[in-house]
Structure 1
Amino acid sequence: MSKGRVHRRRRVVSVATLAAVGLGAAVGGRALVAGATDHATATRWLLVAGAVFVAEVGFLAAHLDPGRATAAFAPPNLVTLARGGLYAATAGFLVVPPTTPAVRWAPAACYGTGVALDVVDGRLARATGRTTDLGARLDRGFDTLGFLVAPLVGVVWGRLPVVYLSLSAARYVYRAGLAWRERRGRPVGELPDSRVRRPLAALQMGFIAVALAPVLPTTVVHPASVLVVVPSLATFVRDYLSVTGRLDRTGSGTGPPDGGSMK
């Protein structure tokens, strides 16, 4: 058997193993949701969460190097994959009404735990010297997913105003704008360094988790969400103007590269 075929088989086995583990977790999650609601509601949760999880598995398969299939099992990447599972679980509550205390706390618990693990996987990768391109791609991809599904749940449940979804859309608009310029043959520069991009991303993650929790009244959360989202949207605008050459980078308060998880 050729080396290339062996590598491809290892990639299939790695992805299938992780998918099986995730499927088992999803079945367990359905049982928990059924205990807090009913079987029909739990099945709806499983369908949505399962669809998101399948997309995550596809994302992993697309970015997993056949020659380094075992990289998916590196501890930092396993933590990142757990984050993806928690965000998929969060997405399932799009179709679950907040009728019981356990359900009302569930999205905040799932998303908030995923946010906490976002700190763990990066530190673990640096501490063990296991920083990889796969880990970086998974981290960015799942950050973007979390910024999409958690605010959607917040809006559907009335915990966040619709305007907050502008943050979820901002990354896609940003990327679409750059792709449009590239198709037209126009120059696109490098993303500028920034001291504020990562702290703002962390602020948004923390705020979303708090907003989903049934603690603060919506009369507080809704106005606060508008104030919180403005600086991040302004950063997207600044970055777009910079990479398209419309903004002079000198004197703009830039600093060391910080990863920019919302990009």
Structure 2
Amino acid sequence: MSGENVRGRRLGAAAVTATAVAAAGVAVGGWTLVADATTRAAANRWTLVTGAVLAYEVSFLAYHLDADRPAAALAPPNLVTLTRGLLYAATAGFLVVPPSPAVRWAPAVCYGVGVSLDVVDGRLARWTGQTTPLGEKLDHAFDTLGFLVAPLVGVAWGRLPVAYLTLSAARYVYRAGCWWHRRRGRPVGDLPESRVRRPLAALQMGFVTVALTPILPAALVHPASLLIVSPSLATFVRDYLSVTGRLDGRSVE
């Protein structure tokens, strides 16, 4: 093994270790804040859920380190993405914390800052020329994670209707459908070009952030969510039909 590969692997291990230390800091610091704001029992539940998500994120990073470029985890854009993951893990913990005045803004702040960093990491990667396969995997995985945990917290806190979780499930149903299609020996094509996919994802992120805040009444948020989620669900259906050959794959205008 060359000296460069050894150095790269050491940097990769250092990146995983640093992420694990940061995750532990989030868990400990979060427990302290939640315990001070609510109760120790609530803080214990928050830490249990957040810790499980943090363990997944650290494991995901370790598993997907590029064997040829493990040091890519230390690239500034990827560090921003990892920070997003920590914030989404903190958001997840509020799934088992009852809403109260002391913490009512916490999920919206954690998720909202994570969403803001979603804009930063991509632009930073393009600006610095540090777009990496690891960064793309982290970005996609944490986007999916955020779309899962934030709506779950919204439903648990009464801020979103259960029907909105169809969007959280859509990504997993899409992947399962593609897997089943391949298992039956049928080809699965590439996603068609789309001008609406990213804007719709940004719309959903922004809407969930607003829905988690205590500003708008739930009586207004619930019906609005059903209208806003519809085009994104339609896009998932359209993408699945395209990659499985049921549509011609032309671009969405």
- Quickly name the TM-score band, shorter chain normalised: over 0.9
Deviations 1:60-111 (A, max 9, x none): 0111124422211111111100000000000000110012x23111000000
Q: Name the residue aligned to 1:193.
A: 193
1:253 alignment counterpart: 252
Give the SS at the match of 1:235.
helix
Shift of 1:7: 5.1
2:81 matched residue in structure 1: 80
The answer for the alignment partner of 1:59 in structure 2 is 60
The amino acid that maps onto 1:35 is D
Q: Which moved more, 1:101-110 or 1:63-72?
A: 63-72
Task: Note the C-alpha offset of 1:2.
Answer: 7.0
- What is the match of residue 172 of structure 2? 172
TM-score by length of 1: 0.91
Q: Give the drift of 1:50.
A: 0.7
Identity %: 71
1:6 and 1:119 map into 2 onto residues whose CA distance is: 31
Three-state SS of the structure 2 residue aligned to 1:82 is helix
CA distance in 2, matches of 1:121, 1:19: 20
Contact 2:53–2:92 under 8 Å retained in 1 = yes
CA distance in 2, matches of 1:74, 1:203: 28
The amino acid across from 2:217 in the alignment is P
Q: Distance in 2 between matches of 1:92 and 1:107?
A: 9
SS at match of 1:103: coil
Residue 128, structure 1, aligned to residue 108, structure 2? no
Query: Per-residue deviation at 1:151?
Result: 0.2
Q: Which residue of 2 aligns with 1:236?
A: 236
Report if the CA contact (8 A) 1:53-1:88 is conserved.
Answer: yes
Which secondary structure does the structure 2 equivalent of 1:102 belong to? coil
3-state SS of 2:104 partner: helix
Q: Distance in 2 between matches of 1:164 and 1:217?
A: 16
Aligned to 1:102: 102
- Which whole-Å deviations, capped at 9, do the CAs of 1:210-254 have from their partners, x for residues lacking one? 00000100110000000001000000111111111111234x534
- C-alpha spacing 1:102/1:239, structure 2 compared with 1 (3 Å): same
- TM-score, normalised via structure 2 length: 0.95
Structure 1 equivalent of residue 206 of structure 2: 206
Q: Distance in 1 between matches of 2:248 and 2:155?
A: 37
- Distance of 1:253 and 1:153 partners within structure 2: 32
Mark the runs of 5 or more structure 1 residues left unpaired by the alignment. 255-263
More moved, 106-115 vs 126-135: 126-135
Consecutive unaligned residues of structure 2, counting only runs of 5 or more, are none
Q: Which moved more, 1:208-217 or 1:16-25?
A: 16-25
Tell me how large the CA RMSD over aligned residues is: 1.6
C-alpha contact (below 8 Å) 1:49/1:91 kept by paired residues: yes
Greater shift in the superposed pair: 63-72 or 19-28: 63-72
- 1:71 matched residue in structure 2: 72
Distance in structure 2 (CA, Å) of the matches to 1:173 and 1:71 = 31
